[in-house]
Amino acid sequence: MDPVQPSVGWGVLHLFYRVDRDRAERDPEAGKRVTDAVQSLVDDGHQALLFAVLGHKAELGVMALGPDLARLQAFQHELTGTPLTLVDSYVSLTELSEYTSTEDDERARLATEEQLEGPAAEARLAAPRVRMAHYQAQRIHPHRTRPQTICFYPMSKRRATAANWYSLPFAERKRLMGGHARVGRTYAGRVLQLITGSTGLDDWEWGVTLLADDPVALKEIVYEMRFDPVSAEYADFGPFVTGLLLEPAEAVRRVGL
């Protein structure tokens, strides 16, 4: 199959499965076929995280991402040949937020707040320039570590109420998102966040994946952000799915394959 590669970013699939117990009992090699499919995907330059889902919404979760949508679809198809029944899914792309601070934004801030211009300002821009480049690279081509827990939920900005996000001027939206981002940065080192875009691709506008060793951190970051105007006034949230991130072989063992 010919590759299908986005011009910007990577494809991201969140897949949620239940185990067909009758099929699993008749297929003692099912777990190995799942882990072989995962390893093949990784060998092809993609990434996959497997997690045992907590609660009733699914049993096994898979987050697969990488540069080729055709390869991701082939991986999804491979899993249909195992005793896994797909109960939910989400499709998105990694992206840079249009509200991300730029070098020009930082240059303007230095001029306004610190009266720095010319060579002095350029010298001060060296560190922010490196930080911004790292942030952008991680948003577009993320390389996820494997903490102990994961939480995924979709969300959209409101537009059918008096609080219509899309009727705000861009400068106001960027100002509000700047405050929202500052809250998120207070969780650096505790929570890894990946926001992926799904407008036109799935039912919501973004998918949010949070990774943390401490599940309390997942709860706290979502709770705190709900007080920020971006969430309190302008956001709608879909269902949350939470699970335990595991090595692939352990994940399939935990769910009975």
State the Cα–Cα distance between residues 208 and 189, nearest whole angstrom: 17
Q: What is the pLDDT at residue 130? A: 65
Q: What is the pLDDT at residue 57? A: 98
Q: What is the pLDDT at residue 161? A: 76
Q: Closest Cα to residue 241, out of 151, 149, 148, 147?
A: 151
Q: What is the pLDDT at residue 203? A: 97
The dihedral through the CA atoms of 69, 12, 129, 228 has a sign that is: positive
Mean pLDDT, the chain, rounded, equals 90
In this predicted model, what pLDDT tens digit does every residue of 10-59 receive, in sequence order?
Answer: 999 999 999 999 999 999 999 999 999 999 999 999 999 999 999 999 99
pTM beyond 0.95: the answer is no
In this predicted model, what pLDDT tens digit does every residue of 167-224 receive, in sequence order?
Answer: 999 999 989 988 888 888 899 899 999 999 999 999 999 999 999 999 999 999 999 9
Q: For residue 89, name the pLDDT band (cuts at 50, 70, 90).
A: very high
Q: Which residues are catalytic?
A: 153
Q: What is the pLDDT at residue 142? A: 76
Q: What is the pLDDT at residue 97? A: 77
Q: Bridge-partner residues for 211, per DSSP?
A: 150, 192
CA atoms within 13 A on the CB side of 98: 6
Q: Which domains does the chain have, with CATH numbers?
A: 11-95+246-254 (3.30.70.1030)
Q: How many CB atoms are located within 10 Å of the residue 128 CB?
A: 17
Q: What is the pLDDT at residue 185? A: 86
CA dihedral 163, 168, 170, 171 (to 10 degrees): -100
In this predicted model, what pLDDT tens digit does every residue of 109-148 receive, in sequence order?
Answer: 666 676 767 776 666 666 666 666 666 667 677 776 779 9
